[in-house]
Chains A and B, each alone.
Chain A
Amino acid sequence: MQIHNSSTVGEAIDSAEGARAGQWWLVWRKFRRHRLAMIGGFFTVVLYLVVFFAEFLAPFSPDRYSAEYTYAPPQRLHLLHWDSSQGWFSPYVNGYKIEVNYEQGRRLFVVDPEKRHPVGFWVQGDSYRLLGIWQTDRHLIGPLDPAAPMYLLGADRLGRDVLSRTIHGTRVSMSIGLVGVGLSLFLGILLGGLSGYFAGWTDNLIQRVIEFLQSIPSIPLWIGLAVAIPAEVPPVQVYFLITVILSVVGWTGLARVVRGRFFALRTEDFVKAARLDGCSTLRILFRHMVPSFMSHIIAVVTLAIPGMILAETSLSFLGIGLRPPTVSWGVLLQEAQNIRSISTAPWLLLPGLAVVIAVLALNFLGDGLRDAADPYTV
């Protein structure tokens, strides 16, 4: 399907304005009809908003620990309740009481319905810089007394709040998908484009490399590369190296798609015209050919992000991806590595739910985008 060939557009465009607004408007129109994709898109936007406003949305900083409340179970947030000073809307959480289990020889926390800690919205807590600019200490939700325990999703072995850590983990986990895909996309367009543009032996060579990389199992390859990152490397570099490792395999799928598109476009008149005008190869690639299949690329990229997120989570879970001062969903799930910690504190698996939601949302979104990418067929 050639996007530039406006005669095939048919009844979809009936006004001159439609012809100019063209493709993207049509894509949006088609996308809107895909209900699951709209829901997926909504969740994706929410998750990326969480990335930007993590400090504000999380009640606490991810590193705040409390030796008093190790493995405290999740509390329920009570919203409506009569309070003489505040009226009906006076949210609170229950406190904990300690029961000693002599058989297992350890303390167990039980939610104590007698104790009530009032909770507020827009409260003062740990201070931070919003978006790295504004210094503030306001949080969306938090206990009015900063020392009161509030663990809506429970606490881990150091008494850190799982909810706050999951929210902060969103930043790394969601962005590593984007950065990794961005890198894969660059490599994919460059190599896939060269392959499809030059054809002949360049194509043959690049195709053999892609086939080779796709034929070897990726996880052993990733593990091998990830283990090679020395322990003393600073977190930012580990983050970067992991994205590079994930892209080693990630670019191959994108390159295949790009190559296929290039083969279809190579003989088009507008490409020939650009070549006769004396444009350089790279200019023809990126200025003339890439824009004409951008919508497809966006769909394929969206579908590639979940794979990256899953890969990062898996590597970090094995303890060879991102490392503890960094907070990502995979790093959090490392706490739930053995049956003993899961049976003590099943809520440590909750960051996994965030992974599932993110991957599900991106898959739905990508599925809808793929259908909408070619708006000229019904």
Chain B
Amino acid sequence: MVRYIVKRLLLMVPTLVAISIVSFTIINLPPGDFVDRIVAQRLTAGEVVTAQEAADLRAFYGLDRSVGEQYVVWVSNIFLRGDFGRSFRWDLPVRDLVWERMALTLLLSVSSLLFIWVVAIPIGIFSAVRRYSLGDYSATFLGFVGVSIPNFLLALVLMFISFRYFGQSVGGLFSPQYINAPWSLAKILDLLGHLWIPMIVLGTAGTASLVRTLRANLLDELSRPYVTTARTKGLPESWLIVKYPLRHALNPFVSDLNGIFVDLVSGSTIVAVVLSLQTTGPLLLDALRSEDMFLAGSFIMLMSVLAVVGTLFSDILLAWLDPRIRYR
């Protein structure tokens, strides 16, 4: 087990290097840089900007160096000092901007994951046991609809419904008075009160697909001889299902975990923009648009790292649950 974990951790190193290269390449793709943007803004404001001033600005932001050099400086600062560079636009260290938002993204993803499990397991069991019943058909249909609605559309519809019929706006993760307040019990409760809408929006697609997987797996298991044996021994039906076939059928819940988690981190970007959550999404979009390269790059990198660590975690969990996996 320890060997497996160490091996996986070592394999992560090249992945992390690749992630940092990809992130840095992406933020360097747009033509021009942040200084071009400042110059353009000053010119439209009627100010005169000399070439010398522009060059000074570039030197100040470290943009006069070659792309390779910029990359090396950026990455070595992250590794050596945990310094992600400076956000041009906010004029703050990136570090101060990202951590709280990353934590909220993680919180949102994990709570959506729990939501998916809590909802998908009972519905999946029901659909399999009461196969071809009205409930099964509606679960299947709702499942397909759930997969087919884009996240942002679901968010918009929920926003519209709660605005029109309940007279409240549902955007954000905090009530206005808590946005810049220090953390306290009241703020945490307020956060939990706001978290459920994005949680449902993000979790719907995953729930729908897990219900379908669980139903299919459980149906395979239910016709096995061991189930008949258990039944003839007189085990109560509900206990029988939970004790034997469900345990087999739950395997994909763990093995699909990494894919679902990556999707949640990824999907939260758009949902956060629509619902204006204080997670990574809106700030990332804004940073990319204004060519605030270190902020954008750090976000892309940290979200990828989050996804990769989540994958590692789920693989370890799977190896722990299913001893056959480890030796592959």
A-side residues, CB < 8 A to B, are 212, 214-221, 223-225, 227-228, 230, 306, 310, 313-314, 317-318, 320, 333, 336-337, 339, 342-343, 346, 349, 352, 355-356, 359-360, 363-364
* Residue pair B145, A356 in contact (C-beta under 8 Å): yes
How many chain B residues touch A (Cβ–Cβ < 8 Å)?
Answer: 50
* Residue pair A339, B169 in contact (C-beta under 8 Å): yes
> B160 on the interface (CB 8 Å rule)?
yes
Between A and B, 11 residue pairs with Cβ closer than 8 Å are: A212-B18, A217-B263, A219-B267, A225-B26, A339-B160, A342-B156, A342-B159, A352-B150, A352-B156, A356-B148, A356-B149
* Residue pair B300, A224 in contact (C-beta under 8 Å): yes
* Residue pair B266, A218 in contact (C-beta under 8 Å): yes
* Residue pair A339, B159 in contact (C-beta under 8 Å): yes
Query: Which residues of chain A have C-beta atoms less than 8 A from B258's C-beta?
Result: 215
* Residue pair A219, B288 in contact (C-beta under 8 Å): no
Q: Tell me the bound Cα distance from A313 to B171 in angstroms.
A: 21
Q: Tell me the bound Cα distance from A219 to B299 in angstroms.
A: 12
Min CB–CB distance A266 → chain B (angstroms): 20
Say yes or no: A342-B160 contact (C-beta < 8 A), given A217-B269, A314-B151, A314-B152: yes
> B15 on the interface (CB 8 Å rule)?
yes
Query: Which residues of chain B have C-beta atoms less than 8 A from A218's C-beta?
Result: 262, 266
Min CB–CB distance B256 → chain A (angstroms): 13
> B284 on the interface (CB 8 Å rule)?
yes
Interface string of B213-246 (1 = CB under 8 A from A): 0000000000000000000000000000000000
Q: Tell me the bound Cα distance from A217 to B259 in angstroms.
A: 10
- Interface residues in B250-280 (C-beta closer than 8 Å to A): 258-259, 262-263, 265-267, 269-270, 273-274
> B182 on the interface (CB 8 Å rule)?
no
B-side residues, CB < 8 A to A, are 15, 18-19, 22-23, 26-27, 29-31, 144-145, 147-153, 156-157, 159-160, 163-164, 169, 171, 258-259, 262-263, 265-267, 269-270, 273-274, 284-285, 288-289, 296, 299-300, 303-304, 307-308, 311
Given contacts A310-B150, A320-B289, 6 further A-B contacts (CB under 8 A): A221-B26, A313-B150, A314-B150, A333-B152, A359-B148, A364-B144
In the complex, the chain A residue whose C-beta lies closest to that of B306 is A217
List 10 A-B pairs, minimum CB-CB distance, nearest first. A217-B266, A228-B29, A224-B26, A359-B148, A216-B304, A219-B266, A360-B148, A227-B288, A352-B153, A228-B30
Q: Tell me the bound Cα distance from A64 to B153 in angstroms.
A: 26
Min CB–CB distance B265 → chain A (angstroms): 5
* Residue pair A216, B307 in contact (C-beta under 8 Å): yes
Query: CB within 8 A of B284: which of A216, A223, A306, A339?
Result: A223
Query: Which residues of chain A have C-beta atoms less than 8 A from B31's C-beta?
Result: 228, 230
Min CB–CB distance B186 → chain A (angstroms): 26
Q: Tell me the bound Cα distance from A317 to B259 in angstroms.
A: 24
Min CB–CB distance A362 → chain B (angstroms): 9
* Residue pair A314, B270 in contact (C-beta under 8 Å): yes
- Secondary structure at the A interface, as helix, strand, loop or mixed, is helix
Q: Tell me the bound Cα distance from A336 to B18 in angstroms.
A: 38
Q: Tell me the bound Cα distance from A339 to B160 in angstroms.
A: 7
Question: Once A and B bind, how many residue pairs between them come within 8 Å at the CB atom?
Answer: 123
Say yes or no: A343-B270 contact (C-beta < 8 A), given A221-B26, A314-B152, A356-B145: no
Say yes or no: A220-B153 contact (C-beta < 8 A), given A215-B308, A227-B289: no
Q: Tell me the bound Cα distance from A364 to B147 in angstroms.
A: 11
Min CB–CB distance A151 → chain B (angstroms): 20
In the complex, the chain A residue whose C-beta lies closest to that of B288 is A227
Query: Which residues of chain B have C-beta atoms less than 8 A from A225's C-beta?
Result: 26, 29
Min CB–CB distance B26 → chain A (angstroms): 4
* Residue pair B153, A223 in contact (C-beta under 8 Å): no
Q: Tell me the bound Cα distance from A107 to B289 in angstroms.
A: 35
In the complex, the chain B residue whose C-beta lies closest to that of A343 is B163
Say yes or no: A360-B144 contact (C-beta < 8 A), given A224-B296, A230-B30: yes
Query: Which residues of chain B have C-beta atoms less than 8 A from A356's C-beta?
Result: 145, 148-149, 153
Say yes or no: A223-B288 contact (C-beta < 8 A), given A318-B270, A318-B273: yes
Min CB–CB distance B208 → chain A (angstroms): 10
Query: Which residues of chain B have C-beta atoms less than 8 A from A310's C-beta?
Result: 150
Say yes or no: A220-B300 contact (C-beta < 8 A), given A215-B262, A225-B29, A228-B30: yes
Min CB–CB distance A331 → chain B (angstroms): 14
Say yes or no: A217-B150 contact (C-beta < 8 A), given A223-B269, A318-B270: no
Query: Which residues of chain B have C-beta atoms less than 8 A from A214's C-beta?
Result: 259, 262
Min CB–CB distance B249 → chain A (angstroms): 20
In the complex, the chain A residue whose C-beta lies closest to that of B205 is A310
Query: Which residues of chain A have C-beta atoms less than 8 A from B274's C-beta?
Result: 337
* Residue pair A219, B270 in contact (C-beta under 8 Å): yes
Query: Which residues of chain A have C-beta atoms less than 8 A from B19's C-beta?
Result: 216
Query: Which residues of chain A have C-beta atoms less than 8 A from B270's C-beta?
Result: 219, 314, 317-318
In the complex, the chain B residue whose C-beta lies closest to that of A336 is B156
Query: Which residues of chain A have C-beta atoms less than 8 A from B269's C-beta?
Result: 217, 219-220, 223
Q: Which of A214, A215, A220, A317 has the most chain B CB atoms closer than 10 A to its own CB?
A: A220
* Residue pair A215, B156 in contact (C-beta under 8 Å): no
Q: Tell me the bound Cα distance from A339 to B307 in angstroms.
A: 31
Q: Tell me the bound Cα distance from A359 to B151 in angstroms.
A: 13
* Residue pair A216, B22 in contact (C-beta under 8 Å): yes
In the complex, the chain B residue whose C-beta lies closest to that of A230 is B31
Min CB–CB distance A328 → chain B (angstroms): 13
* Residue pair B156, A212 in contact (C-beta under 8 Å): no
In the complex, the chain A residue whose C-beta lies closest to that of B154 is A352
Min CB–CB distance A256 → chain B (angstroms): 12
Query: Which residues of chain A have C-beta atoms less than 8 A from B263's C-beta?
Result: 217
Min CB–CB distance A192 → chain B (angstroms): 18
* Residue pair B22, A306 in contact (C-beta under 8 Å): no
Min CB–CB distance B328 → chain A (angstroms): 13
* Residue pair B304, A333 in contact (C-beta under 8 Å): no
Query: CB within 8 A of B147: which of A212, A337, A363?
Result: A363
In the complex, the chain B residue whose C-beta lies closest to that of A353 is B153
* Residue pair B151, A349 in contact (C-beta under 8 Å): no
Query: Which residues of chain A have C-beta atoms less than 8 A from B164's C-beta?
Result: 343, 346
Q: Tell me the bound Cα distance from A359 to B144 in angstroms.
A: 9
